[in-house]
């Protein structure tokens, strides 16, 4: 999304969809994170104001993914052992889930579980390959499909639309959405990201995450920062089986179309990619290929 969408077009796209306000805890944490000196005590205090959220954070950080030697029992410990950025990302992921989820909608539990898996896999892949910031990769992995949750609240048949989109071998997933519902989750996610004050390049990456065929074939311009994020995201999505979870598809048709270009861009061979997949599985992420 290299040009601003006209206001009239934006209103049409968002018709009937209300973007929830940014969770206050995210606002407060963002304020603390831009201070000249980060105050860990102040950040811990913000997180512990919400007992339910704090408990969920401790449950996540004590999961096998982080491979900690001893159990963490306080938010201050989480900040010290994991680092402020990692802990804040976990808080953001949980607050996003609480803000965007409608618990009456079947299927959102799987959706959010996949989002968190993709976020953690994105961060781990970024760290393994040494490209981009793992924190930024995590954020994109978490946010990139947030438009899906909002579209599910508007369209009862949206799960079927997703299945049709992921079953498509030639056309983009968002093209099928546009045809069926006159909107798509990428552009809705873009507006959520803008409303929640994510960096501009992050919002654009969300908007363009199903335009990667043209981006990696170098048919359109894309700055390196966004391109690295998108490459990491696409590897994480296919490894975590997003095409199965969201689209009930047996094959990742989108990734098959872009695989050669992405691996070439990253300097990876097929064997390197399979090693990366195995590495993610060892971390408890991803799905075993059937």
pLDDT tens for residues 214-243?
Answer: 999 888 788 899 999 999 999 999 999 999
Instruction: Collect all residues with Cβ–Cβ distance below 8 Å to 267 and sequence separation of at least 6.
Output: none
pLDDT value, residue 41: 92
Length of the chain: 290
Instruction: Return the structure tokens found at 103.
Output: 């618990």
**Residue 10 in this model has a pLDDT that exceeds 60:** no
Write out the E strands in the chain.
Answer: none
Spatial contact of 167 and 251, defined as CB atoms under 8 Å apart: no
Nearest to 88 by CA among 35, 36, 146, 27: 27
Give the integer Cα–Cα distance in Å for 142 and 115: 5
pLDDT value, residue 254: 96
**Residue 104 in this model has a pLDDT that exceeds 70:** no
Rg (CA), the chain: 19
Give the integer Cα–Cα distance in Å for 44 and 58: 12
**Residue 1 in this model has a pLDDT that exceeds 50:** no
Instruction: Return the structure tokens found at 33.
Output: 């994170």
Instruction: For domain 107-290, give the fold.
Output: Hypothetical protein af1432 (1.10.3210)
Residues of the chain with CATH 1.10.3210.10: 107-290
The alpha carbon of residue 5 and the mean position of all alpha carbons in its chain are separated, in whole angstroms, by 22
Nearest to 48 by CA among 91, 109, 106, 108: 91
Give the integer Cα–Cα distance in Å for 178 and 249: 19
Give the integer Cα–Cα distance in Å for 104 and 118: 24
């Amino acid at each position: 999304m290299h040009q601003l969408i006209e206001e009239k077009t934006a209103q049409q796209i968002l018709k009937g969809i209300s973007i929830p306000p940014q969770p206050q805890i995210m606002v407060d944490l963002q304020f603390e994170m831009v201070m000249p000196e980060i105050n860990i005590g102040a950040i811990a205090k913000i997180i512990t104001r919400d007992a339910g959220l704090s408990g969920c954070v401790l449950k996540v950080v004590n999961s096998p993914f982080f491979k900690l030697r001893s159990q963490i029992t306080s938010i201050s410990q989480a900040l010290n052992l994991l680092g402020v950025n990692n802990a804040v990302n976990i808080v953001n992921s949980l607050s996003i889930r609480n803000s965007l989820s409608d618990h009456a909608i079947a299927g959102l539990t799987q959706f959010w579980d996949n989002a968190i898996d993709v976020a953690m896999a994105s961060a781990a892949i970024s760290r393994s390959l040494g490209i981009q910031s793992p924190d930024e990769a995590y954020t994109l992995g978490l946010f990139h499909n947030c438009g899906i949750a909002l579209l599910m609240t508007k369209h009862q048949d949206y799960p079927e639309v997703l299945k049709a989109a992921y079953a498509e071998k030639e056309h983009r997933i968002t093209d099928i959405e546009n045809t069926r519902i006159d909107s798509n989750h990428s552009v809705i996610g873009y507006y959520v990201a803008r409303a929640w004050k994510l960096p501009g390049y992050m919002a654009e990456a969300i908007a363009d995450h199903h335009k990667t065929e043209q981006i990696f074939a170098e048919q359109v311009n894309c700055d390196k920062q966004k391109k690295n994020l998108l490459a990491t995201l696409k590897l994480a999505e296919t490894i975590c089986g997003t095409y199965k979870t969201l689209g009930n598809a047996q094959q990742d048709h989108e990734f098959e179309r872009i695989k050669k270009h992405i691996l070439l861009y990253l300097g990876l061979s097929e064997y390197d990619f399979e090693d990366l997949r195995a590495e993610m599985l060892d971390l408890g992420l991803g799905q075993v290929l059937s």
